[in-house]
Each structure stands twice: as structure tokens, then as C-alpha cells.
A and B are shown apart, each in its own frame.
Chain A
Amino acid sequence: MKDLITIGLPSKGRLKEGSINFFEKNNFKLTSNGGERNYFAQIEKLPNIKVIYLHAKEIIQRIGDGTLDMGISGLDLLRESAINLQKKIEVKKKLDFGTASVVVAIPNDWIDVQTVADLEEVSFDFRDKKNIRLRVATKYPNLTNNFLVSKGVTQYKLVPSLGATETYPFVGSSEIITDITSTGKTLKDNNLRVLKDGLILKSLACVLISKKKTKILQPFLNSLI
């Protein structure tokens, strides 16, 4: 009997659609016994492969803990995850969907701030003149920390956000944000502007595999990518 392979695919949105299309383009048809809300699927004619639909963030966690052997998820979520988790996962292929950028965005009316170097100065103004730290709302604390510190911005405090991060500067919860954007429209509509050198990461969907399972996965990967 062949080894059983467990694959995690995103359970909603553009990443789900893109993932299913990617499998179908490569002649792997996904079938499901239950209704639309069933979280399990199979690949036609490949009974040893089990597909589970999960939150994109969870796919990374589960590849890390060995529950999944491989999956599709966003590069942003992988790079944001803990280092020890990232060490267990290999990016096997970058795909052509799910493209978006993680960026630093500031209120559009801060006309004196165009670059991260300006932001660094303003953050010191907050500390020296107001005796508070510039607050950065984000869903990406790790990526944000690494980016800001590497650019010399050290005087800030993170405000964890779960959603609608764009509203934070205008309800008094933070001064600036970092967030993911594909067209920039939501940021613009919310009166925010991306810094000229404020690109933290260009993200896209990726095929991720557990490094421990490389051997078992190889025959399947040969036909998939």
C-alpha cells in the first residue's frame, strides 16, 4: 500500500479558488462526498491522497506539526510564522495567484512623511515631544518588527489587529498601520498612503511541504509541479 498523503488547501476566498484551479490545470480533479461545507475532499483516482480545507494560517501550523504533509498557503503567512516553524517547511513552488503586498501605510495627510527615514524621525518626535511611542497596528507583528528595525525605526509599539486595520489610525487606536493589499484601493478609500519605500514583502500563494516528508511526497510532486 502506498503512503497516505495529507494536503491542506485554503478553505475560502481567492486562495481556495486558485488552489482548486491549480490542481485541475495539472489534471488532478478534486471531489467531495458531502455538501459544499464538507471540509474533506479526495483527488480522483488517487485514493492515497486526502485533502482538507483549512484556514490559510492553519495550513502552515499543521504542516509544521506534521498533521499535514503539504499544502497551499500565502508566503506572507509563512514569513510571519515563528522561525522554528519556518525551518520545518520548504517553499516548493511559487504560484501565479494570491499576489499581494505587505506594506507600511500612514495617514495621507501626513505630507511630511514620504519615506521610512521620515517615519523614523517622526517616531522620535513622538518619544521626545509627547513621551509616547508611535503605535503601529498590524496583523503581521514579526514581519513588521523585522522590517522597521532593519530600517532604523526603533521607537514604536505594536498594536495587534485582527481585521479592519485601516480604521485604526482614525479611531485613535494607532497612528500608522502595516497591512496586506493587492490593489491599494482599500487603503486609499480609508485615506491611507503607502510609504515610497514601505514594501515589507511581496506575497503570493505557494506550494509548501514538510521538509520531513520530502521523500514520500516526491512522486506526487513530480506530477503536480
Chain B
Amino acid sequence: MKLKNYSEKIINVFKKNGFLLSEPDVLLDSEYIIQRSGENFRKLMLTFEDDTGKSMCLRPDLTVASCIKYLKENSKATSKIFYSGQAYRRSSNPKEKIINDQLGVEIIGSKKKVADDEKVLKTILKSIDKTKIGNITIKVGDVSLFEKLIESLKIPERWKMRLKRHFWRPQYFEDLLNRFETNSDVDPMAIDLDKKKFSEMKNLDQNKEIANRRVSEILSRFDRKIKDPRSFSENKKVVKIIREFLKINCSIDKIERILKDFIKKYKLSKNVLSDLTAIKNLSKISYKTIFSPNFGRDIEYYTGMVFEIYNSSKKEIARGGRYDGLLKSLGSKKNISAVGAAINLNNLKK
């Protein structure tokens, strides 16, 4: 089947399921994207300067472009949209394509989270059904479960934040675990040296700013830092719990029992991983579905349920998830819930 035919069939499914066409901008302000994603994202973007010297980029991602459009339109209502277009992103892997044809759906601003998660996944599955690809596998996970697990562990606050922040960078995350396990982050000398300066600074105007940070902010972080335990005896045990959790890989209908056993084995608080509504709801789907908390860890903006769909040759043909924090990081004053998914048309070819 030709790509165009796939595309028509998929769009029909999107429309039948109540999604309306949206056409996000192709050109975006690079600085705006860098503000959200950080400087390192720049090397993935295709950028150029316009004739006024402003840096522009081709949209690296249709989800981000759709959210920018939603914010521009200043809509308060729930937006249920689909898009069909190209995303442009460089990769360090020369085999990967720069231009990807994507078809996707997004539900932005709705409060019915569990139902929306299911709606997005089901719509994507129905669309793939129409392409008659068959023999697909689905992997699901839930980022919020990892965050709940970390919160429940008895480790210094600083480390909790660090582990949560770097979940998205598996290699660096592994470095962090190793450092944590060996307690190699301790530097009591550095703290003693500055206690004198601390007393001096207490006498300054607390609202005075030093390179964009108030004196009070600097002192309160210093204070927190010296009170946070610097050494910790149970590091090895904690790291083992995290590693074992990330190793879980089971059929979705077994997840409840497996998590229960996990909690029992490591004597964790019973209600840590008890809210499985979002995941259990997805087990109604009549496809082979695997639950793994350790996948899709390359997109920073997911906050809840995540999924990926593979064809028989293990190529990823669709992915999506919940991203409740993205719109705020793009400039919205409050959190706006959102969930979406995209089909990678180029990988649909048999």
C-alpha cells in the first residue's frame, strides 16, 4: 500500500473518532524552543536566521508545534485535534531520517484523563488496523509510577529530585545510580569553608539579587544543603530497588500482581504503587500488551501513561503519552492536561 493510501485511511479514522484537523506552524522561533528544552536540543533542530537575524527552526516535533498553536489561539476549551505533516529533526545516528511524516492526535485541556488516555491509544490502534499491518505489539508504561516509587524511598531530598529529573537520560541516570550507590557525592569540606561567608551574607539585604538569585534564595539553599544528610547507609539497597523496578517487564494483565509482589519483597508502603487506574484501563485492549516502566525514556515531557507500538520487525510505528507539564513550560500560566500520540508513516511501509 502506498503512503498516501495509508494516510487517507488513518485520517478517516481520526475524523470518525471526533478529532478535528489542525495545522500547526512549520516555522517556529528557535529561542522559544530552547527556552523549553534547553541548549542541548539546539543540535537536533534545523535552524536558520531570517533576514532580521532572528533564529527560526523547522518544527522538530508536531506535539510541541500543536501546543504552541493551542496557546496562541488562547483557547480555554478542550481541543481534540489531529495533524498530518512533517517533523524535522537531526539525529546523531546518520541512518535515521531527518524528515519524518507524522499523523497524530492530541487531546488538550480535558480533565477526563483516564478516558482520554484510552481514547488516544484506541484511536491509534484502530488507525493501524485499517492499514492491515497486523502482528503488532504494544508496550506501555507510566512515568508517574517511577516518581511515586522515588518519593516513597528514604533518601535525601536532593537525590530524589536528581533521579526524577534525569529519568529521561538513561545513560546519565545510570551514572547517577552508581554515584549514589558508592556515596561519591559527599563533600563536607566545601560546606565548612563557606559557613563564615554564610554568616556575613545573613547581614545583607535579603532581597538583593546576585546574578538573578536573591540572597535569601542562596542562603536558604545553602542551609537546606548542609542539613540534608551527606552520607547514607542504605544506598545499595535503594539502588537495588530502583534497578529491579526498572527491570519489570510483563504482560499488562499481570501488572497488579507483580507490583504487589514487588512491594512485599522490598517492604515498601502498600499504597506506593496502588493507583493503577490509568494502566489497568489499558488492559481492556485486545492486543498483546507489555508493561515496562523502563521504556520511552527519551522524551522529557511525558508525565503519565506512555506507550509505543511496534510492527513484526520491531520497528516503532507509533508512540504517545500523557504530557501534563508541557504547556506550562511553553508559557501557559497553569498546568494544562494533555495526551497525544503520533504514527510514524515512514515505518508503516512493509
User: Which residues of A come within 8 Å of B, CB atoms?
Assistant: 106-107, 109-112, 114-115, 117-118, 120-122, 124-127, 130-133, 136, 145, 148-149, 152, 154-158, 169-170, 172, 174-176, 196
Dominant SS among interface residues on chain B: helix
Q: Select from chain B the residue with minimum beta-carbon distance to A106.
A: B211
Given contacts A111-B218, A120-B162, contact A156 B38 (CB under 8 A): yes
Asked if A175 and B161 sit within 8 Å, CB to CB, the answer is: no
Closest chain B CB from A168 CB (angstroms): 9
Q: A122-B221, A124-B161, A152-B176 are in contact. List 18 more A-B contacts (CB 8 A).
A: A106-B211, A107-B211, A111-B201, A111-B219, A112-B225, A114-B191, A114-B194, A115-B190, A121-B221, A124-B165, A126-B212, A132-B35, A133-B38, A145-B43, A154-B38, A154-B39, A154-B169, A172-B212
- By a CB distance below 8 angstroms, the chain B residues around A156 are 38-39
B178 CB to closest chain A CB (Å) equals 13
A117–B222 Cα distance when bound, in Å, is: 14
Docked complex: B179-214 residues within 8 A CB-CB of A: 185, 187, 190-191, 194, 197-198, 201, 210-213
B141-178 toward A: CB 8 Å interface, digit per residue (1/0)?
00000000000000000100110011001001001100
Q: How far is the CB of A139 from chain B (nearest CB, A)?
A: 15
- Assess A111 versus B198: contact at CB under 8 Å? Given A124-B165, A175-B211, A196-B187: yes
- Sample 16 A-B pairs with CB under 8 A, ordered by A number: A107-B210, A107-B211, A109-B210, A111-B201, A112-B221, A115-B187, A120-B162, A124-B161, A131-B329, A145-B39, A152-B166, A154-B40, A157-B35, A174-B211, A175-B212, A196-B187
- Taking a contact as CB atoms closer than 8 A, the residue among A126, A133, A196 that contacts B34 in the complex is A133
**Complex alpha-carbon distance, A67 and B215, angstroms:** 53
A109–B34 CB distance below 8 A: no
Tell me, rounded to whole Å, the shortest Cβ–Cβ distance linking A23 to chain B: 39
Interface residue ranges, B against A (CB under 8 Å): 34-35, 38-40, 43, 158, 161-162, 165-166, 169, 172, 175-176, 185, 187, 190-191, 194, 197-198, 201, 210-213, 215, 217-219, 221-222, 225, 329
Contact partner of B185 (CB less than 8 A), chosen from A117, A127, A132, A174, is A117
Contact B38 A155 (CB under 8 A): yes
Ranked nearest first, the 6 interchain pairs of A and B with the lowest CB-CB distance are: A112-B222, A114-B190, A169-B211, A112-B221, A111-B194, A175-B211
**Is B38 a contact partner of A110 (Cβ separation < 8 A)?**
no
Residues of B within 8 A of A157 (CB): 34-35, 38-39
Q: How far is the CA of A107 from the CA of B176 in the complex (A)?
A: 26
Q: Which residues of A have CB within 8 Å of B219?
A: 111-112
Q: Is the CB of A158 within 8 A of B39?
A: yes
Min C-beta distance of B4 to chain A, whole Å: 37
Q: Interface centre among B35, B166, B175, by most A CB within 10 Å?
A: B35
Alpha-carbon gap, A109 to B215, bound state (A): 9
A113 → chain B, closest Cβ, in Å?
8
| A121→B213 contact, CB < 8 A | no
**Closest residue of chain A to B224, judged by CB?**
A112
Distance of A117 Cα from B180 Cα, bound (Å): 12
Whole-angstrom distance between the Cβ of A85 and the nearest chain B Cβ: 16
